[in-house]
Structure 1
């Protein structure tokens, strides 16, 4: 029987952040189709502790602690003319394990999750290579280079340039490359050089609508009170999330509190930076840090917001809020790839005044807000279940022909 090698830049357990949610569901589905060998990098001891979870579904596994500090990785990358992203996720130990698996097991396909892991695929491998870029990382660094301060702008520009070159070479090496939305796929294709086009497809994110079900979750007691609650969820050391909550706390909440003086803004997510923690108490802002479960916070929200100015791919936080039947206030960037309709499945706005206006309209009409939340849940149940989203995976890794 043919077997699959699965490479991920982070251990796909627990599925508690955007990249891990996607990689976890992909891995589980592949494990149902063929024996799978998993190589992954660990950010910390908590990641290393997930080896038991991997052992339950993987034929073999190798987890390596990513120990090189980012400054050292940057120096190594500068010295070798490589993107920092590659140097930061490079491991000789993991490469040796990959080579051993390919030499000793009947690997017919390699599934690579995240562009940084493409460096582990040997050029002589002749089986299928499915490259899940998820989104166009080089475009993200281009955006950082336009808004960041010196000298980081120069570093971001360098990263964008080198990463763009690496992404194209990787896509041309792969059998198929995947992106999380048709918008990301189109963006990537528009950046390719030459007339020949590699096989590039969209494979969206899904949502577990049984887990994210408002009928099974009680609201967080911290949100009880006289005023309305607006909630943001996400990894709070991620620069686009930091920018989003700073904008909302500083510029949108004062406008909302003119009409609702007791309104609160809850920032829910792990690893808040000092800049995020400093928002606590400002214009009704609460910074929770890590919570064991985001669902009670979503269930207790009058509005869930994702006012992202820079966003790549489909936002899991948006799908989760929609599945919980909450009215969701989004910027156009955060709505990319969702596929719903403004004013029916969510509310779109971008400038602070417009965001405040849409929020106040929802708060002024609870029936309309409830109707929007109901329509949002119906949409994700019908369109965004993981079983439906991952239907093409069998053919992509070649398991279809094995099963025939």
Structure 2
């Protein structure tokens, strides 16, 4: 099949969850179909990034979108009812290029990632269209309303109403829709949500494997440190959890690793906390860690960071919210916490009890290797594109 893929970001480097998901799906899809990729981007692309991606594409077209036009579109969007993120990523000039690519490449089907790309192809009816919701964005905004500063609430309230309408509109416009977990599917704001197909995230098991490196970091939290749920988790971990750990283990160290750290995260650096910023190879951070903690209190989806840490046989502690998408067995494959005291107690137990640490790490590793390879998790998408007879 000739498959046209439309992305709102160039899928490399892999510092964001949507880019990681897109890159590995492209890799798997290319083994079964001719992939024609059209990727929007806002910044300059390095040649080696392009080379990493084009090996999986029959054709690759990048389309730069104007930052000035993004700001103008956001202003005009206040007068309409489409989500702000759709207005931010949609540009008429870019759509002309997208449609020109479709006309040139003559695909058999179209696969879009994220709601923000839907407008580019919503009027096309000559091809089967699939869209990856990835997360329940409306639910993510709803959770942010509980935690963000008061001055963001009018904007978030408006975006929530727009997303509730738009997610259902997109569902009706596309032939097939996918999403990352049952938890996210159940939170979609329309009654036919069970018709959305679950396509989980995975982990590249050849890249993320146990390391024999000596452990110099007691607690690690990794991810895009500019993403609001990660920012909130990092602040909570550094300011509320780690002081309780330090009382028992004064020399304990925390590493917050990931690109684009928010100012709130940067201000945590010092004392027992290291803020790395961009890391060339996140496996180096995982390899040093004794315990991985993902204190997710808001946000949606299946956390790549947990899959990667578990694949490297690191014992993990996370929230019920994050584990709802992972389905790891509590106290066997993962430890679950909600309060600062619970997180601290689990961290201390894993640091003090090598037997418990090894048991959780091994069981978590086995879970991921058995159920979360990208080849396995992408099968439902392949089935949509080529249903079994």
Q: TM-score, normalised by structure 1?
A: 0.90
Please give the alpha-carbon distance, in whole angstroms, between the structure 1 residues aligned to 2:379 and 2:24. 12
1:182/1:201 contact within 8 Å kept: no
Q: Deviations over 1:54-91 (max 9, x none)?
A: 43332322212233266544213113332110111112
2:130/2:176 contact within 8 Å kept: yes
Structure-to-structure mapping, 1:3-402, within 5 angstroms? 3-46=2-45, 50-68=49-67, 71-188=71-188, 191-192=189-190, 199-215=195-211, 218=213, 224=216, 229-282=218-271, 284-398=272-386
Structure 1: 5+ residue stretches without partners: none
Aligned pair count reads: 388
2:28/2:374 contact within 8 Å kept: no
2:40/2:64 contact within 8 Å kept: yes
Change beyond 3 A, Cα 1:46–1:113: same
1:145/1:154 contact within 8 Å kept: no
Q: Deviations over 1:135-172 (max 9, x none)?
A: 11111112222332233101011011111211111011
1:233/1:269 contact within 8 Å kept: yes
Question: What's the secondary structure of 1:287's corresponding residue?
Answer: strand
Q: Deviations over 1:212-249 (max 9, x none)?
A: 0114x635xxx63xxx6100101111111111111111
2:334/2:364 contact within 8 Å kept: yes
Stretch deviating more after TM superposition (170-179 or 312-321): 170-179
2:23/2:53 contact within 8 Å kept: no
Please give the alpha-carbon distance, in whole angstroms, between the structure 2 residues aligned to 1:340 and 1:63. 38
1:218/1:296 contact within 8 Å kept: no
2:89/2:116 contact within 8 Å kept: yes
Please give the alpha-carbon distance, in whole angstroms, between the structure 2 residues aligned to 1:147 and 1:268. 23
Please give the alpha-carbon distance, in whole angstroms, between the structure 2 residues aligned to 1:346 and 1:125. 45
Stretch deviating more after TM superposition (68-77 or 201-210): 68-77
Question: What's the secondary structure of 1:367's corresponding residue?
Answer: helix
1:48/1:63 contact within 8 Å kept: no
Question: What's the secondary structure of 2:30's corresponding residue?
Answer: helix
Please give the alpha-carbon distance, in whole angstroms, between the structure 1 residues aligned to 2:146 and 2:360. 36
Please give the alpha-carbon distance, in whole angstroms, between the structure 1 residues aligned to 2:64 and 2:207. 30
Q: CA deviation at 1:46?
A: 3.7
1:62/1:97 contact within 8 Å kept: no
Please give the alpha-carbon distance, in whole angstroms, between the structure 2 residues aligned to 1:229 and 1:121. 48
Q: CA deviation at 1:255?
A: 0.5
2:63/2:97 contact within 8 Å kept: no
Alpha-carbon RMSD across the aligned residues, in angstroms, is 2.0
2:38/2:61 contact within 8 Å kept: yes
Question: What's the secondary structure of 2:219's corresponding residue?
Answer: strand
Please give the alpha-carbon distance, in whole angstroms, between the structure 2 residues aligned to 1:291 and 1:348. 27
